Amino acid sequence: MKMNFKVTAVAKVYAESKCENLDEKRLVPKMMLRRRLTRSAKMMIYLSDQCHFSDGPVVYGSAYGEMQATADIVGAIASTQPISPTAFQNSVYNTAPSYFSLLYGNKNEILTISSGSDTSANVLQSAALQAVTMNTEVLLVCTEALNIPNINEVNSCTDYLEAGVALSITPTDVLPNITVIKNEHKGFSPSLWAMLDVVNACETKADPVIALEL
């Protein structure tokens, strides 16, 4: 079953190596918190600001999770060194949305999804169901931060080692005015493709309305 949703905002960011100008000094004025942020958390906070969203339910997705924190932990184990508490804290999949909630005092529900190449497609479906169930605006974010040492030895899926995409949706009775077409987004991780389809279709459209599968 499909339902209609108004897309209230869209945003994306990407770079071959590292996304610059994420404006973290303005967005995260407390230095202690800013220093703890992972690359995915910085991208998520930037994207949420671009979507003008700071309070409400969030559905977040990442196929690979916090790669740098995981690499730090594995490296410490391999060299029989103590594991960094910060790396351990930052190694979970909900790190980015958790920092977002800490920053803004957002006490609403967070749902984290990781399902390989289907990640952003499942984020879209889960967020649509959440928006209908709660009758509210929902923020959707997917990020991949793969720029860790020696990544080029194993990377075959993306030209952009850092990339993120976001949109916010709210239920509506208005009929769709956009048809979202599936595309292969060369250079991007396939985990982002479904949401890139939506963002690219909506970013130049006034008051976009789309249909999403529940």
Domain ranges of the chain: 2-213
Please report, to the nearest 10 degrees, the dihedral formed by the alpha carbons of residues 78, 82, 84, 88 taken in order: 70
Q: Measured on CA atoms in the order 50, 39, 126, 181, is the torsion positive or negative?
A: positive
**CATH superfamily membership of 2-213:** Thiolase/Chalcone synthase (3.40.47.10)
Give the confidence band of 198 by pLDDT, cuts at 50, 70, 90.
very high
Q: Look at residue 109 and tell me whether its pLDDT is greater than 90.
A: yes
Helix, strand, or coil (residue 22) = coil
Distance CA 11, CA 16 (A): 18
pLDDT in tens, 77-107: 888 898 888 887 888 889 999 999 999 999 9
Task: Please tell me the least confidently modeled range out of 36-50, 89-103, 114-128.
Answer: 89-103
* Mean local confidence (pLDDT), 127-131: 98
Whole-number pLDDT of residue 149:
86
